[in-house]
Amino acid sequence: MSTADAPERALPKLEGAPPRILLIQAPYYAEVVEGMARGVRRVVAELDGTLDTVDVAGAFELPAALRLALSQPYDGFVLLGCVVRGETDHYDHICREACSGVMAITAETGAAVGFGLLTVHTLAQAEARSRDDRHNKGAEAASACLLQVALRRQWGVA
């Protein structure tokens, strides 16, 4: 599926208070991550939610920051970052560990998480996924997070 084929998803109806979301971002590629963060802000605002933002050094730090943030009073978490393939296998290690770390925490805790870590071959690919259009991966991550928040509320999970 190409970026052009990305589905449009409707936002969920949330019972209760507007959602409180924490955006954890690794702004190494600042313009790309800021573009995705605009998408997050837009989606959260559509549900009258509040959004706090914290920065971490890089993608590798995303799982640890998520683990720390779980003790805070948020309904959900959106994680953003970007790793561009380089000449060494550093890319493979960082992508694998960041993804598996976030998945382990999410599966263990059931936290509502939207995961927007771009793992791309070129900066142009990342830029295409951070534009202010329907293909914005930050907006997709925020939508995924909010769907999980809705599910948690539906099932009475605090």
Domains and CATH numbers, the chain: 18-154 (3.40.50.960)
Q: Mapped to the 3 state alphabet, what secondary structure does the chain carry?
A: CCHHHCCCCCCCCCCCCCCEEEEEECCCCHHHHHHHHHHHHHHHHHCCCEEEEEECCCHHHHHHHHHHHCCCCCCEEEEEEEEECCCCCHHHHHHHHHHHHHHHHHHHHCCCEEEEEEEECCHHHHHHCCCCCCCCHHHHHHHHHHHHHHHHHHCCCC
Q: Which residues contact 7 (CB under 8 A, 6 or more apart)?
A: none
| Residue 26 labelled as part of a binding site | no
| Residue 88 labelled as part of a binding site | yes
Run means of pLDDT, 10 residues per run, the chain, 158 residues: 64 92 98 98 97 98 98 98 93 96 98 98 97 96 98 92
pLDDT at 70: 98
pLDDT at 9: 75
pLDDT at 1: 45
pTM of the model: 0.94
By annotation, the residues acting in catalysis are: 90
pLDDT at 88: 87
| Residue 28 labelled as part of a binding site | yes
| Residue 83 labelled as part of a binding site | yes
CB 13 within 8 A of CB 150: yes
pLDDT at 8: 73
The whole-angstrom separation of Cα 62 and Cα 40 is 17
